[in-house]
A and B are shown apart, each in its own frame.
Chain A
Amino acid sequence: MTTSDVLEVIKPGVLTTVQDIGRPGYLADGIPPSGAFDTAALKLANLLVGNDPGDYLLTGDDPGAAGLEMTLRGPTLRALRDTVIAVTGAEMPVTVNGVPAPNWAVVPVRAGDEIVIGSARAGLRGYLAVAGGIDVPLVLGSRATNVRAGLGGVSGRALKAGDSLPGVHGSPDITDRRIRPDRVPVRTNPAELRVVLGPQDHLFTPDSVSAFLSTEWKLSPTSDRMGCRFIGPALTFLPRPEHLTVQAGSDPSNIVDDAICVGSIQVPSGLEPIVMGVDGPSLGGYAKIATVISPDLCRLAQVRPGEPVRFRAVDPDEAHELHLAARAVGTAADLA
């Protein structure tokens, strides 16, 4: 495999990072998986340009090819050689030398072309794949960027103007390929996030569990890849044993620290439930009312601050079937 710089960053956009399917295997070390927040969108982008889409959040070893995760407003890039790109996820307008290009489709570019990814008209996170994939060094088995820990990607940080992105030479002979229209995810308003109740729903009052499931929550601006906060009514807790005040803390939401999965919803002090994101912690000391199922992290990734969300409870069997359906994303069946 030959590698050479494939894209140069002219303007970095609001928050653009290199991501793949993530870095499983290190939760017990406190190292989150990271990777694309909307993995389905990145997989479809990789599929379009002929890259390995990789496996699945935390459950597979193959991180797939790395692309760019672009938040709110995308970057301006210069192609450094002839290749093909694809942009998926949020509806971010794409132009090549000023000429509009489609989303969810292969876009051929030539050396010297200027690629502008604009502000998202709907959704929050766009994904750009380039044939061959972005070839930054693997760190603990993945190229995913964790900005907080300074791991992976380009020097563990978001892209800056002047960065050059190395790419493996891919297959630029693919020139006309798009995602089947019925396989492009549809966004609803409010977004529906399916959850399995637990592990600590039993610590909340039954009224609060009902309120959690019936409220139209709004995403707080204080949200990022570590956690997404939701604004709505205060939730309350059942009386608890005295030893928890001593060992876990005086707030009724405090528990002795316990394992967290991506998607778990902590509710500190009963205020602003926080859905843990792909850069979130593996351990925490607040009661978790429910966990968003992994397929719906892709929906969560596309909710903008202020937009509404509802949580709907599913049982473990339904969650299992939804999981298997989501695992099927990223194959030739998704292509038009």
Chain B
Amino acid sequence: MTEPSAVFRSLGDIGLCVEFGDRIDLTLNFRVLALDRALKDEGIDGLRETVPTHRSLGVIYDPARIRRRDLERVITGILDDLPALTEFPSRLIEIPVWYDDPWSEACAREHGADNNITYLAELNGISREEVIARHAGALHWVSAVGFQPSTYQAIPLSEMRLTAPKYERPRKWTDPGTVCLAGIITSYYPVRSPGGYQLLGRTPIDLFDPFQRNPAFADGPVLPRVGDRHRYVPIDGEEYQAIRAEVEAGRYAYRITEGVHRLAAGAPEGSR
């Protein structure tokens, strides 16, 4: 694949979208991350904040300090010199999940749907256990964060062989902490929200801590960042309760390992 070029698209008077493509593709996400890092290193006067997504970088700027066309010129210059990244620093975060938990089943039933794990098993032609094994067996790359505080979207870094359609009629509510799947994208509901992703299970750990009490939140109130890798670790109800108690007491030790992710020679699922 040739390096994609970027297109500038307007987000009004204070926003600019730098779009690398319209699809989910790990190489595009690496370009987004590379530009994000380069923009921050450049220290541009008037650059306020950035929103990295799968395939585009949202840029919020202060028009009183920089005009839109000057910002575009600076970004174009940075893009011309941007090295094609093949590796990027990436934290590996273990997220314990009580797959097939009773709340998710009750939530599905309340919205007129069958147990979502059973549904995905039938749809993918595998057993219920295999649904969980395939999801927990893959490493997942966070390639967008947003929507609600700490909501993320992650794509599998190896072939997961598990897909999920969205609900035809979105749910009115979903329990906080629910881990869910649509297409090959894993996401998470931090607060009670409407939604259409299939419910996989519930995590006892918080990914959003506005008061930054746990040391895992020393850098910011939200744990997930674009460029993190997630491993979902199946737990049972007893483990869920034990971990939840530790989280609420502020004693839970988040399992985070610093590392690097390299674009694999073999095609990762997200890059096709």
Residues of A within 8 A of B (CB): 24-31, 57-60, 139-140, 148-151, 195-200, 241, 243-244, 246-247, 249, 255-261, 263-264, 281-284, 291-295, 316, 319-320, 322-324, 327
Taking the closest CB of chain A, its distance from the CB of B152, in whole angstroms, is 8
By a CB distance below 8 angstroms, the chain A residues around B60 are: 24, 27, 58-59, 261
What separation, in Å, do the CA atoms of A139 and B211 have in the docked complex? 8
| CB contact between B191 and one of A29, A148, A255, A282 (< 8 Å): that residue | A148
Main secondary structure of the interface of A (DSSP, over half): mixed
**Can you spell out 24 A-B residue pairs with CB atoms less than 8 angstroms apart?**
A24-B48, A28-B49, A28-B51, A29-B208, A29-B221, A30-B147, A30-B149, A30-B151, A196-B10, A196-B13, A197-B10, A198-B11, A256-B23, A258-B53, A258-B55, A258-B56, A259-B17, A260-B58, A282-B146, A283-B146, A283-B151, A283-B153, A284-B147, A323-B13
B58 touches A150 (CB 8 A): no
How far is B28's CA from A256's CA once the two chains are assembled, in angstroms?
A: 12
Which residues of chain B are near A322, meaning CB under 8 Å? 13
Residues of chain B lying within 8 A (CB to CB) of residue A25: 48-49
Q: Does residue B22 face the partner (Cβ distance < 8 Å to A)?
A: yes
Name the contact of A294 in the complex, choosing from B14, B19, B225 (C-beta under 8 A).
B14
Nearest neighbor of B193 in chain A, beta-carbon distance? A148
**CB-based nearest A residue for B72:** A316
- A199 to B261 Cα, complex, angstroms: 31
Min CB distance, B61 to chain A, in Å? 8
Residues of the A chain whose Cβ atoms lie less than 8 Å from the Cβ of B52:
28
When distances are taken between beta carbons in the complex, the residues of chain A under 8 Å from B51 are 27-28, 259-260, 282-283
- Which residues from chain A contact B23 at a C-beta distance below 8 Å? 243-244, 247, 256
Least CB separation from A137: chain B residue: B211
Does residue B135 face the partner (Cβ distance < 8 Å to A)? no
- Does B229 count as interface, using CB distance less than 8 angstroms? no
Cα of A57 to Cα of B64 in the assembled complex, Å: 13
B2-35, CB under 8 A of A: which get 1 and which 0?
0000000111111101010011100000000000
A211 shortest CB reach to chain B, Å = 20
Residues of chain A contacted by B54 (CB below 8 angstroms)? 256-258
Q: Shortest Cβ distance from B169 into chain A, in angstroms?
A: 13
B166 within 8 A of A: yes
A308 to B58, CA, bound (A): 31
Q: Are B57 and A259 in contact (CB under 8 A)?
A: yes
Residues on B with C-beta less than 8 A from A58 are 14, 48-49, 60
Residues of chain B within 8 A (CB-CB) of A149 are 148-149, 191, 208, 210
Q: Tell me the nearest residue of chain A to B223, going by C-beta.
A: A29
Given contacts A59-B62, A282-B147, A291-B15, contact A316 B22 (CB under 8 A): no
Contact at A198–B10, with CB atoms within 8 Å?
Answer: yes
User: In angstroms, how far is the closest chain B Cβ from the Cβ of A73?
Assistant: 27
Which residues, 35 to 54 on B, are CB-close (under 8 Å) to A? 48-54
Contact of A27 among B9, B13, B146, B190 (CB under 8 A): B146
Q: A59-B64, A258-B17 given. 9 additional CB < 8 A pairs?
A: A26-B49, A27-B146, A28-B50, A29-B146, A58-B14, A260-B11, A260-B51, A293-B12, A316-B10
From residue A213, how far is it (CB to closest CB) to chain B in Å? 15
Give min CB distance, B21 to chain A, whole Å: 9
Given contacts A198-B9, A259-B58, A323-B13, contact A29 B145 (CB under 8 A): yes
Please name all residues of chain A whose beta carbon is closer than 8 Å to the beta carbon of B220 when the two chains form the complex: 26, 29
Q: What B residues does A264 contact at CB under 8 A? A: 11-12, 15
Cβ–Cβ contact A324 & B63, under 8 A: yes
C-alpha gap A58/B14 in the complex (Å): 8
